[in-house]
Structure 1
Amino acid sequence: MDTKKWARWQDYVALLAGVVLALTPIWFNPNETGGVWAMIVLGVVLAGSALWSLQAPGAVASEWVHAILGVLMFVAPWVLSYANEAGAAWSSWIIGLVAVIVGLWALPESSQAHKKLVAG
């Protein structure tokens, strides 16, 4: 397990997923303004939390943030009424699942890095 800064592949996947989601309204412009802003904001926050994880590999909370944002992304098309707009909705669903998976996948490595930091 890699506990070095800027080394965990799951966080790079989360970073890429966040950037893609933030840019999704360029390709699939949902008619619902709330959907556009949700994708932009959630994408930027996911990318930011991925940078946090990459910089501080022992920040366990950052991995939970990825997973929670993934759940929010997944439900956003229904909550914000853009589920009938295929491109935008599928982007939210797929990227949401990716965020949950990589966030939970990185938890053991992040926990190990945290324990090393605490132990000194």
Structure 2
Amino acid sequence: MREEARWTDLALVAVGLALALSYLWHGMLGFGGGSMLVLGVAAIVAAILSLTRPGAVSSEIAAIAIGTLAFVLPWAVGFTQEPVAAWTAWILGAIIAGVGVYGLVMAVKARRRDPELAWTQHVVGRL
């Protein structure tokens, strides 16, 4: 396991859990709250995949996409008039995307160091 980037995966689990359970403190139910729950669970799944396969860039790209979706969610669903819920989505979405970008850099480094850490093993120099 990559020790230098493992904190990013654990941080992604924590932030994903906070996003998934955020309806408890902002009280927004319905489609917006459900969307935040689904995106939080998806962030947790991406983090678990990243923990098990440190060289897989797909889970880090998924984290970036999930963070971006969470950031855009208040405008897309239309709950910008709910300030607590909107700020929760903006802040946690930015954190998830930022952690995903840093994790992507670390995953690429781990993949170059040891190709077996990725989903598939690549053979360099063969055509």
| Shorter-chain TM-score above 0.5 | yes
Structure-to-structure mapping, 1:40-79, within 5 angstroms: 40-79=37-76
Task: Look up the match of 1:11.
Answer: 9
How far apart in 2 are the matches of 1:85 and 1:25? Answer: 12
Q: 2:101 aligns with which of 93, 100, 104?
A: 104
Query: Shift of the alpha carbon at 1:119?
Result: 6.6
Q: Deviations over 1:37-59 (max 9, x none)?
A: 11100000001111110111011
| TM-score when normalising by structure 2 | 0.84
How far apart in 2 are the matches of 1:102 and 1:114? Answer: 18
Count of residue correspondences: 116
Task: Tell me: higher relative CO, structure 1 or 2? Use CA pairs within 8 A at least 6 residues apart.
Answer: 1
Q: Deviations over 1:82-106 (max 9, x none)?
A: 1111111111000100011111011
Task: Classify 1:113/1:119 alpha carbon distance in 2 versus 1 (closer, same or farther; 3 Å).
Answer: farther
Structure-to-structure mapping, 1:75-86, within 5 angstroms: 75-86=72-83
- Unpaired runs of 5+ residues, structure 1, are none
Secondary structure of residue in 1 paired with 2:87: helix
State the structure with more CA Rg.
2
**One-letter identity of the residue aligned with 2:18:** V
- Unpaired runs of 5+ residues, structure 2, are 116-120
Tell me the percent identity.
Answer: 35
Task: Look up the match of 2:118.
Answer: none
**One-letter identity of the residue aligned with 1:98:** I
How far apart in 2 are the matches of 1:109 and 1:48? Answer: 18
